Chains A and B, each alone.
Chain A
Amino acid sequence: MSADTTAHVAAAGDTPQLPVSRVAGMERFAVAAQRHGALAVLLLGSAVAAMAFPAFATADNLAGIAIQSSTLMIVAVGMTFVIITGGIDLSVGSVFALGGVLAAWASQWGVLPAVLLPLVVCGGIGLLNGLVIAYAGLAPFIVTLASLLGARGLLLAVTDEGAATYLVPGESALLDLGRGTLFGLGWPVYLAVLLGAGAALLLQRSRYGQAVFAIGGNEEAAALMGLPVARVKVTTYLISGLLAGAAGVLNAARLGSGVTILGVGMELDAIAAVVIGGTLLTGGAGSVGGTFCGVLLLGVIQNVINQIGNLTSSVQSVVSGAFLAVVVVTQTYLSRARRLR
């Protein structure tokens, strides 16, 4: 977070007209609200839900929320990296679906191909995204839009134009990976948390992670400082593709088949979760922990709407959309308060 600190110093130096103590207080509040806002809302929302619906706070229900959120968590972690560099990855939904179908298809030859093939192909798509963005200098929005179409085309080609649905053989160990539980929680949940923890460590404690923040903060400055901007960008999109593929594998393992229509619009859920989690779309700031809170918050909203019962899933998208708008508007004002303008 070295980029952050320098920004504060510069901002505080520019505005001598406000009393220092008040400035520091406002700024501290804004920073805290931006960093931990998602967690606070998540806890508050869960508490309200637990009081309103007795069925909410049961272990079964909470485990259900966790496992349903696990795939989006993994995808959103990759999206967090991409967004912190100031980019965006619209292809994750398609890549996720492709990963699931490839895993189900390859599972007839055993678990190892079922895991490796999707990771290689999806990582390849991410690598391609990164190479085109970093070296041809095209806008991430449009490059990943193209690979959204490309990956879906590939998926259709693999599934005989969407007609074939590949099932994971009943005796395959892949199913255990998706459906097995430990202490009441599904394996995918542990995997998501493990991947998230690894990603957080990578982001906050490694040279690569610091370069990710620096590039998102100011790409030109990062290049002048001698950071390998192109290489870091390629790695970031590679990670996003790999994680989307891994999430697809887990989902196929859980469902026991490669469902071709899954993942449409998933990129939007992932972006929403990342943004709700306090990562700025302008890049340069954000955290994996916030993204986790964002994903869980979306999961809790969905669960509460299910609990209410007579509401349809369309109400859920209304609530999620409104929620997203409120969060980003608040965030914008908070970061303005931070800049003290």
Chain B
Amino acid sequence: MTAEPATITPAGPGRATLIRHLQHYGVYAAVLALVVFNALFTDHFLDLANLRTQLVQVAPVVIVALGMALVIGTEGVDLSVGSVMALAAAVLPLYLGFGAWPAAAMALLAGVAAGALNGTLVAVVGLQPIVATLALLVAGRGIALVLADGQLKQLRNPQVLGWGTDDVLGVPVVVAVAVVLAGLVGFAVHRTTYGRQLVAIGGNRPAAQLAGLPVRRVLIVTYVLSGLFAALAGVLATARLTASDPSAIGNLIELSAITAVVVGGTPLTGGRVRVLGTVAGALLIQLLRATLIKHDVPDSTAQMAQAVIILVAVYLARERRSR
């Protein structure tokens, strides 16, 4: 072990290094700390049933947050994800007559269409992402409710219900999908041209344009992916619920997803996507909520704790830019 000279740092090693480590590993450390705390102080926390429940609950948020991380990496934001989930939930039962897979395909197609609309408004028309996706946030759930006649529909298709209850290699379907997607997104960001272009555009859009990158195409693809992931989360959540409920599904999930992304260390100013951090961010929020609930801390305190955590995470991320 002669690696000691590597730790030489310029003046002021203490604070700067600490902050950098906090930024890089803070989320993971926090998740680990919560797991250890719960293992010691929460009854039945390490039971298989409880771990399954936690993972199944967090999986839709992870799926939505992955798309959100890509969008935020381009210096954008997608507020419409909750409404797109509702849209997918409303479309799914309409096409169940053709079978489970075609119905799911139509639901995903609705998500792609929604994403394409967002992407066009942002990339071609040049709207601010907040406004462009706000329009669909308002209208999307309305369309979903019109499609569904404002009613909750019970699902009886055994295959769809299976997506909510079955296991793949001992892991619930929705969790397996989230894990596979996280892997794919991580690969796309770090190992493909698309990912490099996305990060470049988020870092400096005019420069990316001048460098001849296909800015519009990358932006549209990114919003389409976000819509697709949201629709996927909508389908899986609907299967889990065993009913299509467009009025409630995905409500305020955009806030959870943005929180997960930001807590995971992806800056809102774009130019950087942290996929594993996003997954850890979602887990952190889920574990935090679960911990507070299991120790009978009221919901009011839980929400205020979440607010403080967002602020602290963003404050730490801010230091990086002014370094």
Contacts and interface: CB of A to CB of B under 8 A. Distances in A.
Interface residues of B, number: 45
Nearest to A321: B139
Contacts, number: 137
B127 A149 contact: no
B131 A157 contact: no
Contacts of B136: 321, 325
B155 interface: no
Given A142-B262, A318-B139, A328-B135, A136 B318 contact: yes
A242 B301 CA distance: 24
A149 B318 contact: no
Contact of A154 (B144, B300, B311, B314): B300
A78 to B, nearest CB: 18
A258 to B, nearest CB: 15
B299 interface: yes
Contacts of A147: 307
A32 interface: no
The binding surface of chain B is classed by DSSP as helix
A176 B148 CA distance: 42
Nearest to B150: A312
Interface string A273-306: 0010000011000000000000000000000000
Nearest to A90: B255
Given A149-B307, A321-B135, A161 B298 contact: yes
B135 A136 contact: no
A336 to B, nearest CB: 8
B161 to A, nearest CB: 27
Nearest to A316: B142
Given A141-B268, A268-B138, A282-B128, A146 B146 contact: no
B137 A268 contact: yes
Nearest to B149: A312
Given A139-B268, A314-B145, A332-B125, A145 B138 contact: no
Nearest to B147: A314
26 contacts: A132-B311, A136-B315, A138-B314, A141-B77, A142-B262, A145-B259, A145-B310, A150-B303, A153-B301, A156-B299, A156-B303, A157-B298, A161-B298, A268-B137, A272-B138, A275-B131, A281-B130, A312-B145, A312-B150, A314-B144, A317-B142, A318-B143, A321-B139, A321-B140, A325-B135, A329-B127
8 A-B pairs with least C-beta separation: A321-B139, A153-B303, A317-B142, A314-B145, A156-B300, A321-B138, A153-B304, A150-B307
